[in-house]
């Protein structure tokens, strides 16, 4: 007692001291001022030292009195005193280094106190038993003990924060570092956030700031530095080695495999040595922090085996009736302490792993972003935008996952070896039987994993096809509705879905097998081991100790064996990711020194290029050859030439985007660049123009006016504060171009490079811009300007003109000089002038085509964009209202761009996602979808399985209690037989429920998908206009995928862990009924903690996913605009923005990791309490209990912590995922359009016979709350009449057709066709009988035949005839597959004109009495237009034709013309009659130059 217990704390502190001292030297957090707490700690430390040395002096005094004690009385106080001094020194040193609460010291005081308690106890017992007491030593020891207790209590309080630390000026610092040591190891410090999250849903502003060492600006530069060092090492090798792989690719594509082989051989040997190892770099950056996890993991693994060993001692204690009671209590206490330590250590380990994973992701995203800003264009071609974004999302995620697994590589084998060693000690060689079974199961599992993977690939393929089709259906939904083709397409989708479900079914069988092996493995192992053990030798007795300790060890074994395959596959995936990352980070970078950027001096000129040759990449042939020119300061230079002659390349070369082969290039002063395709950021209009410079009101106004942006800003809903969607979706092409120009003008650079900015804008705006901005009188008149242009009319005003052809400058000089030379330039002028002339002529009749907005009847559509914007916003503001998201996010979603989809559905969905708990009805819905019989059957099978499992273990406990007679047990064979039978029945039940749940899951997903599809197709058009297609596609992909493959396994695991927990409780109650007092309260604590957690965790997950999309969208944007960012030299700002966005995302991720740890620690404590009470009650009732029951109850309670953990995980997973069912059901309650066909009112099959259409007092509105678009229309159209409908934009021409097809139902009045009111019949009955040739010809991917006749109603001859009439026969005959020619998505592989003709062929095929022609404006060239008109005249002679005309010349020979204005018919009559009336029709005709 007096030696060992004194030495333990001293040794601990002296061993820790050097390591800890070094750690503090390196990690200085700032200086903490002296506080009362600190003074108290220091004073107590010194008093302790004095007390210890008082003992020492007392011993000296005794010696002088000639009382000789053992030498130990001298050594002990000496050592203790010195240790106390060291402790006092550390207390001060920690204060200087800014440690607010020290783990090392807390543990030291704790150990000292525990050791002192034992000594104290023995001293008291000693004092009671003997008379004479060493009063002085007794007194000093009491003082020493009390002081230790006080020190320990003081140690639990944290110090105040250090001076000059970041936390002081942080509005919402993370409480982690200011928390005390105890609070940190139990994760108590997050409780505040949890309480907040429980009271109300968390918002982004409630989250703490990241810790300094988790921020991008701390982490990324570290990794970047290490990578640069590593990269530099490998770069010392000769250059050609570096780019060899690129050459290799080239050669293989061009000249077959032979050269590639040869080249690979030459390069291979040196390649190995010269590859930068990314793994080494990551290890260098994150290794030191991560190494701590090794220690924690090892400690945890060793503690894990303490449980079974203590169980062994407990069973012995129960068997040995003579053992003193305190032994039992001691073992119980030890079991509890071990379990608690295990919990704390395990979660510290996980915390380190997750934080490392988080830092890894931050670092990788940051490094990729920085690299993307500097790679060359040729390297950009090798990795597409999508691939790079994948590197950020998928590959970075893989590293995160790996961080938690990687230690299993050494830990799993360690666990297996330890377990086998202990088992061998327990049961001897018969363990090998069990091990053999385990080893056999490993390849079976591996084979299943492989199979599952192939099935997954197959399923993904069908899923992709299905989503592609859905995407098309949603994009072409209007056409589907007009043609009444929904059913045909529904069948197509269901056909693909059927394939998908087939694969799903196969993988469900596999999953059932896998569950079977996973659940039955431990049992089979135990059975085989016990069977072999009992049968080898009659004298082998299976007693409680052997059986239950072995069972506990087998349970431990099960985890590493199942983890290993997962870990290995995870490592393989991560190594693939590592390679992809390495390749990306090794791309060549732009050489910043190829262009000399100097300050402005008067020498030579502003831009000087001498003998320069440029190519796009090192290995390409040069695209610009021996360029020579000088641009004097302040001059205006035009670059002209044929398409593809290198004009844009020249500007790229000046910006340093190309690879300079030779020559000399100087660009003086700052540069501004306007690219050919305007790049617009997802920010406000103002931010786009200011672009990171400071705001200068007057300058800003001047710029906007000069760039002709004022009228556009007036149209936009919130002026220049309007958010612009991704890729500028809510601006027209011309507006984007002008914003891009304004950005350049605003930044006030010295040199301006314009890449054809005038092409996207229309003539008069172009003229305005040239005069006000670029030209000799513009804002930039004193700057150096280089303008690439096609507009000839500006050339006379240029100072110099460069004429390019084939990458060389062929001529150079002023306009007059070049005309005199009569060379290439004059040639160029002639070709272009003719083209321009014809354009000019056509323009005289109507104002020039304003930026590709349709010109309708000469009336310029100016209000369109405004209307459009308002419409989008009103549709989307329904989302924004909830959470006050900025409106651009929803309007982005509105404009269905594939990229926008990726992020925008996130935003709108995140906002529409329900908060709070999932309603019970959702679970009920899911059970109904499975089928109630199957649901209850699966629950019954679960029960059977667990009853069998409990019974088999109970039977085992009875078996072990069989009395031993003459060294053997009787009935061994009966016992073994029943045990085996129970096990096999358990296996059958497992297989049964696994199959039933999987098959039920498939029923459910079939049912839910069918319903969703049917409901979406039955929705009215207004629904599709309101809902972003991204939203819908997401429902079909993500939610259905969740229902298919995520929910069934989660349900299995959830049910499994629920029953496991219940089973364990039942066993404990059987053994010790008194536990009934303790289990319910623990259950309540458990439930409370779990509810508390789920509320916060759900919200954190949402915040994390909402903040994730901006990272990717910002990255995407950067990649698209990288040349602009480089030209303006704004890289730093963009890197900073990216860092901020990543940090925002991690800010939500970090609390969610900690919340997981918080929960796990709390729950495992509940589990540990159950262990404690199970053991305690067993010890109390030791006389009534058999050893078998004790073993049973304690071994079950040891497992309960793991089950509880799983249960919470699974229940929160289930809650997160079952939302998918809710979302899919959501669309079932939406409004539907009218019935597709109504039996009672269905018209005769020959209807309409003559095709007479009457509008009686007809009115129409788009939505309940809007005005009428059409009002009181009374028109009768007789059969066979040809009617033209004209009117200015927004007059209601298209609305008329929508009403005719009942895309919108009538608000008042009715339409009657051949005596039948169309509102009374089914939609399909109506729509099959009228045909429309829509304005934008939409084709679906599929065969040409399918596009013409999806229902297969017509014979091939009919189809060929209709193609002939549509002038497509020659084209189709020339195709290899003829009618089975595959059309691409949206018909991309046919020209627009051909698509229009296909639509005509559709109409000819349907040959209905009424034809509506929504005339195509821009799509068709005049020739096709003539063809269509003549075909319609000849083929639809006796049909009623309604044409919405944009070009009046097409309807001049119609019987009648309706002129609409503001939704009313203002004129009606034959064209000639109307022209004489000189009304609206006349003025339109005049505008079109017909009169």
Residues 1360-1417: tens digit of each pLDDT: 888 888 778 888 888 777 778 777 766 667 777 777 788 888 888 887 888 888 765 4
pLDDT for residue 55 is more than 90 = no
Rounded-to-10 torsion of CA 555, 560, 566, 569: -160
Residue linked to tokens 């559509």: 861
pLDDT for residue 976 is more than 80 = yes
Range 957-972 burial, b when 16+ CB lie within 10 A, else e = bebbebeeeeeebeeb
- Pick the more confident residue, 1164 or 1030: 1164
- Pick the more confident residue, 1230 or 935: 935
- pLDDT reported for residue 274: 54
- Pick the more confident residue, 176 or 1489: 176
Q: Are 1074 and 1173 in contact (CB under 8 A)?
A: no
pLDDT for residue 74 is more than 80 = no
pLDDT for residue 559 is more than 60 = yes
- pLDDT reported for residue 258: 34
Residue 1393 CB coordination number (10 Å): 18
pLDDT for residue 660 is more than 90 = no
In angstroms, rounded to a whole number, what is the distance separating the alpha carbons of residues 180 and 102? Answer: 8
Mean pLDDT, rounded, for 326-347: 89
- Pick the more confident residue, 421 or 1024: 421
Residue linked to tokens 């330039």: 825
Confidence band of 833 (pLDDT split at 50, 70, 90): low
Residues 150-161: tens digit of each pLDDT: 888 888 888 777
Residue 450 CB coordination number (10 Å): 11
β partners of residue 614: 624, 660
Residues 1320-1344: tens digit of each pLDDT: 888 888 888 888 887 777 788 778 8
- Three-class DSSP labels, 139-166: HHHHHHHHHHHHHHHHHCCCCCCCCCCH
Confidence band of 883 (pLDDT split at 50, 70, 90): very low
- pLDDT reported for residue 878: 28
Confidence band of 1135 (pLDDT split at 50, 70, 90): very high
- pLDDT reported for residue 245: 38
- pLDDT reported for residue 915: 55
List the structure tokens of 841: 């002529």
Confidence band of 1252 (pLDDT split at 50, 70, 90): confident
**C-alpha count within 13 angstroms, C-beta hemisphere, residue 1257:** 3
Residue linked to tokens 């020498």: 603
Alpha-helical regions (H) of 857-914 = 864-883, 887-894, 898-912
pLDDT for residue 244 is more than 60 = no
Q: Are 882 and 1085 in contact (CB under 8 A)?
A: no
- pLDDT reported for residue 1179: 86
Residue linked to tokens 């599809």: 1013
- pLDDT reported for residue 726: 66
The Cα-based distances of 1177 to 318, 405, 921, 1078 in angstroms read 12, 38, 42, 11
In angstroms, rounded to a whole number, what is the distance separating the alpha carbons of residues 327 and 325? Answer: 5
Average pLDDT over the chain, rounded to whole? Answer: 79
Sort residue 692 into left (φ over 0), alpha (ψ -120 to 50) or beta: left
- pLDDT reported for residue 475: 78
Q: Reduce the DSSP state of residue 1277 to 3 states and report it.
A: strand
- Pick the more confident residue, 777 or 1490: 777
- pLDDT reported for residue 1420: 56
Residues 6+ apart with CB under 8 A from 27: 97
Residues 1438-1485: tens digit of each pLDDT: 888 888 877 777 778 888 888 888 788 888 888 888 888 888 888 877
- pLDDT reported for residue 903: 36
β partners of residue 1214: none
In angstroms, rounded to a whole number, what is the distance separating the alpha carbons of residues 1011 and 1232? Answer: 13
In angstroms, rounded to a whole number, what is the distance separating the alpha carbons of residues 529 and 525? Answer: 6
User: Is the bond preceding residue 1248 a cis peptide, omega within 30 degrees?
Assistant: yes
Out of 373-377, 406-410, 1140-1144, give the one with best mean pLDDT: 1140-1144
Mean pLDDT, rounded, for 114-136: 79
In angstroms, rounded to a whole number, what is the distance separating the alpha carbons of residues 397 and 650? Answer: 41
- pLDDT reported for residue 1134: 92
Mean pLDDT, rounded, for 661-668: 86
- pLDDT reported for residue 1290: 67
- pLDDT reported for residue 1: 55
Q: How many helices (H) and strands (E) does the chain have?
A: 51, 26
pLDDT for residue 1294 is more than 80 = no
List the structure tokens of 838: 């014809």
Q: Are 185 and 344 in contact (CB under 8 A)?
A: yes
Range 20-33 burial, b when 16+ CB lie within 10 A, else e = beeebeeeebeebe
pLDDT for residue 758 is more than 70 = yes
Sort residue 1408 into left (φ over 0), alpha (ψ -120 to 50) or beta: beta
Residues 790-828: tens digit of each pLDDT: 777 788 888 888 888 888 888 888 888 888 887 777 777
- pLDDT reported for residue 1418: 46
- pLDDT reported for residue 1422: 61
List the structure tokens of 782: 């004193």
- pLDDT reported for residue 256: 36
In angstroms, rounded to a whole number, what is the distance separating the alpha carbons of residues 597 and 1467? Answer: 68
pLDDT for residue 1136 is more than 90 = yes
- Pick the more confident residue, 1057 or 246: 1057
Share of the chain above pLDDT 90, in %: 2
Q: What is the CA radius of gyration of the chain?
A: 41
Residues 6+ apart with CB under 8 A from 257: none
- Pick the more confident residue, 368 or 1181: 368
CA neighbor of 823 nearest in space, from 806, 838, 804, 800: 804
- pLDDT reported for residue 163: 65
């Amino acid at each position: 007692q007096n030696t060992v217990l004194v030495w333990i704390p001293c040794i601990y502190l002296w061993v820790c001291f050097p390591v800890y001292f070094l750690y503090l030297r390196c990690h200085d957090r700032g200086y903490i001022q002296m506080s009362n707490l600190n003074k108290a700690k220091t004073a107590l430390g010194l008093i302790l030292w004095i007390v210890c040395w008082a003992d020492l002096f007392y011993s000296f005094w005794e010696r002088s009195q000639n009382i000789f004690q053992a030498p130990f009385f001298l050594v002990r106080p000496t050592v203790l005193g010195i240790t106390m001094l060291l402790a006092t020194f550390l207390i001060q040193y920690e204060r200087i280094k800014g440690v607010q609460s020290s783990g090392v010291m807390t543990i030291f005081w704790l150990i000292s106190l525990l050791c002192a308690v034992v000594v104290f106890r023995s001293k008291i017992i000693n004092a009671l038993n003997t008379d004479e007491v060493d009063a002085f030593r007794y007194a000093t020891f009491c003082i020493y003990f009390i002081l230790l207790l006080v020190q320990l209590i003081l140690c639990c309080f944290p110090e105040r924060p250090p001076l000059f630390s970041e936390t002081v000026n942080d509005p919402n610092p993370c409480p982690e570092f200011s928390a005390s040591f105890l609070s940190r190891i139990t994760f108590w410090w997050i409780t505040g956030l949890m309480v907040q999250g429980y009271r109300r849903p968390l918002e982004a502003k409630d989250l703490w700031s990241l810790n300094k060492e988790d921020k991008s600006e701390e982490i990324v530069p570290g990794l970047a530095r290490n990578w640069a060092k590593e990269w530099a090492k490998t770069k010392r090798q000769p250059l050609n080695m570096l780019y060899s792989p690129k050459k290799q690719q080239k050669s293989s594509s061009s000249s077959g495999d032979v050269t590639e082989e040869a080249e690979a051989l030459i390069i291979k040997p040196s390649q190995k040595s010269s590859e930068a190892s990314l793994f080494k770099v990551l290890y260098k950056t994150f290794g030191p922090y991560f190494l701590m996890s090794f220690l924690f993991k090892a400690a945890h693994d060793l503690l894990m085996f303490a449980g079974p060993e203590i169980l062994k001692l407990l069973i012995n204690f129960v068997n040995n009736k003579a053992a003193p009671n305190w032994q039992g209590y001691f073992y119980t206490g030890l079991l509890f302490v071990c379990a608690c330590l295990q919990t704390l250590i395990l979660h510290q380990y996980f915390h380190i792993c997750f934080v490392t994973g988080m830092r890894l992701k931050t670092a990788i995203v940051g490094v990729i972003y920085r690299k993307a800003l500097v790679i060359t264009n040729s390297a950009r071609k090798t990795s597409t935008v999508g691939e790079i974004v994948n590197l950020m999302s998928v590959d970075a995620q893989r590293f995160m996952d790996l961080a938690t697994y990687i230690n299993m590589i050494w830990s799993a084998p360690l666990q297996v070896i330890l377990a086998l060693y202990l088992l061998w000690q327990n049961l001897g060689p018969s363990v090998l039987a069990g091990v053999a079974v385990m080893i056999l199961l490993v390849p079976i599992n591996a084979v299943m994993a492989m199979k599952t993977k192939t099935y997954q690939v197959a399923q993904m393929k069908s899923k992709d096809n299905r989503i592609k089709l859905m995407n098309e259906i949603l994009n072409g939904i209007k056409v589907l509705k007009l043609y009444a083709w929904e059913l045909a397409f529904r069948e197509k989708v269901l056909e693909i879905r059927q394939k998908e479900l087939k694969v799903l079914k196969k993988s469900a069988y596999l999953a059932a097998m896998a569950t079977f092996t996973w659940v039955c493995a431990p049992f089979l192992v135990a059975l085989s081991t016990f069977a072999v053990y009992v049968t080898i030798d009659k004298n082998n007795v299976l007693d409680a100790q052997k059986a239950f300790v072995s069972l506990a060890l087998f349970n431990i074994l099960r985890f590493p064996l199942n983890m290993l395959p997962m870990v290995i596959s995870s490592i393989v995936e991560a190594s693939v990711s590592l390679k992809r990352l390495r390749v990306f980070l090794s791309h060549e970078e732009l050489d910043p020194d190829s262009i000399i950027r100097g300050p402005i001096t008067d020498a030579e000129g502003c831009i000087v290029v001498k003998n320069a040759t440029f190519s796009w990449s090192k290995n390409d042939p040069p695209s610009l050859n021996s360029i020579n020119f000088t641009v004097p300061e302040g001059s205006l230079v035009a670059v002209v030439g044929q398409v593809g002659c290198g004009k844009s390349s020249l500007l790229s070369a000046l910006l340093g985007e190309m690879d300079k082969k030779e020559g000399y290039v100087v660009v003086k002063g700052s540069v501004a660049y306007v690219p050919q395709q305007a790049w617009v950021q997802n920010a406000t209009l103002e931010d786009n123009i200011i672009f990171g410079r400071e705001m200068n009101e007057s300058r800003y106004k001047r710029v906007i006016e000069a760039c002709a942006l004022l009228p556009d800003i007036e149209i936009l809903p919130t002026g220049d504060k309007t958010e612009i969607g991704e890729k500028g979706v809510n601006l027209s092409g011309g507006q984007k171009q002008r914003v891009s120009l304004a950005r350049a003008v605003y930044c006030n650079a010295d040199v301006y490079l314009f890449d054809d900015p005038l092409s996207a804008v229309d003539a008069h705006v172009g003229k305005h811009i040239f005069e006000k901005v670029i030209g000799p009188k513009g804002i930039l008149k004193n700057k150096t300007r280089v303008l690439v242009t096609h507009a000839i009319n500006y050339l006379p005003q240029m100072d110099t003109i460069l004429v390019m052809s084939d990458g060389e400058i062929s001529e150079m000089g002023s306009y007059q000089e070049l005309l005199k030379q009569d060379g290439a330039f004059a040639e160029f002028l002639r070709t272009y002038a003719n083209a321009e002339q014809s354009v000019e002529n056509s323009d005289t009749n109507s104002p020039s085509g304003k930026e590709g907005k349709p010109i309708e009847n000469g009336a310029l559509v100016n209000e369109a964009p405004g209307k459009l914007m308002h419409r989008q916003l009103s549709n989307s503001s329904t989302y924004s209202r909830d959470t006050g998201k900025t409106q651009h996010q929803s309007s982005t979603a509105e404009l269905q761009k594939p990229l926008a989809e990726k992020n925008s559905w996130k935003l709108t969905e995140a906002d529409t996602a329900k908060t709070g708990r999932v309603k019970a009805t959702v679970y009920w819905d899911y059970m109904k979808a499975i089928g109630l019989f199957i649901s209850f059957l699966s629950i019954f099978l679960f029960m059977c399985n667990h009853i069998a499992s409990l019974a088999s273990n109970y039977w085992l406990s009875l078996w072990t209690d069989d009395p031993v007679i003459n060294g053997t047990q009787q009935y061994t064979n009966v016992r073994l037989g029943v045990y085996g039978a129970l096990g096999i029945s358990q296996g059958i039940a497992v297989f049964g429920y696994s199959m039933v749940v999987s098959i039920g899951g498939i029923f459910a997903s079939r049912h839910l998908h069918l319903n969703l599809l049917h409901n979406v197709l039955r929705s009215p058009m207004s629904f599709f206009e309101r809902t972003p297609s991204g939203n819908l596609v997401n429902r079909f992909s993500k939610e259905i995928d969740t229902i298919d493959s995520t929910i069934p396994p989660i349900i299995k695991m959830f049910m499994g862990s629920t029953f496991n927990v219940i089973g364990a409780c039942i066993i404990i109650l059987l053994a010790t009924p008194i536990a009934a007092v303790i289990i319910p309260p623990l259950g309540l604590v458990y439930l409370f903690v779990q509810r508390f957690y789920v509320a916060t965790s759900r919200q954190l997950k949402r915040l994390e996913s909402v903040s994730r999309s901006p990272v990717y969208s910002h990255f995407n944007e950067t990649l698209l605009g990288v040349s602009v960012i480089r030209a303006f030299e704004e890289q730093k700002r963009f890197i900073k923005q990216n860092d901020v966005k990543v940090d925002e995302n991690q800010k939500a991720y970090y609390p969610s990791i900690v919340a997981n740890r918080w929960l796990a620690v709390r729950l495992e404590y509940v589990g540990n309490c159950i262990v404690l009470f199970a053991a305690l009650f067993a010890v109390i009732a030791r006389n009534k209990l058999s050893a078998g029951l004790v073993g049973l109850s304690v071994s079950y309670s040891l497992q309960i912590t793991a089950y509880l953990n799983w249960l919470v995980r699974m229940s929160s997973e289930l809650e997160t995922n079952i939302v998918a069912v809710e979302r899919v059901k959501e669309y079932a309650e939406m409004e539907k359009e009218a019935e597709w066909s109504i039996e009672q009112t269905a018209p005769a099959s020959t209807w309409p016979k003559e095709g007479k259409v009457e509008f009686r007092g007809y009115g129409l509105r788009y939505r309940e709350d809007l005005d009428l678009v059409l009002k009181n229309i009374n028109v009768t159209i007789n059969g066979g009449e040809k009617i033209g409908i004209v009117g200015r934009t927004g007059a209601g021409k298209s609305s008329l057709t929508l009403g005719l097809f009942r895309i919108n139902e009538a608000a008042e009045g009715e339409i009657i066709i051949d005596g039948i009111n169309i509102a009374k019949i089914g939609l399909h009955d109506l729509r099959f009988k009228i045909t429309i040739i829509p304005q934008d010809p939409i084709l679906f991917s599929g065969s040409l035949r399918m596009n013409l006749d999806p229902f297969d109603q017509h014979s091939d001859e009919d189809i060929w005839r209709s193609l002939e009439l549509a002038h497509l026969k020659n084209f189709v005959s020339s195709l290899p597959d003829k009618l089975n020619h595959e059309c691409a998505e949206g018909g991309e592989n046919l020209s627009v004109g051909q698509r229009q003709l296909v639509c005509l062929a559709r109409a000819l095929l349907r040959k209905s009495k009424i034809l509506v022609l929504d005339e195509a404006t821009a799509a068709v060239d005049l020739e096709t237009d003539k063809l269509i008109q003549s075909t319609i005249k000849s083929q639809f002679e006796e049909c009623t034709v309604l044409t919405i005309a944009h070009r009046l010349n097409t309807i001049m020979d119609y019987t009648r013309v309706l002129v609409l204005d503001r939704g009313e018919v203002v004129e009606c009559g034959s064209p000639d009659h109307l022209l004489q009336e000189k009304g609206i029709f006349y003025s339109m005709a005049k505008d079109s130059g017909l009169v």
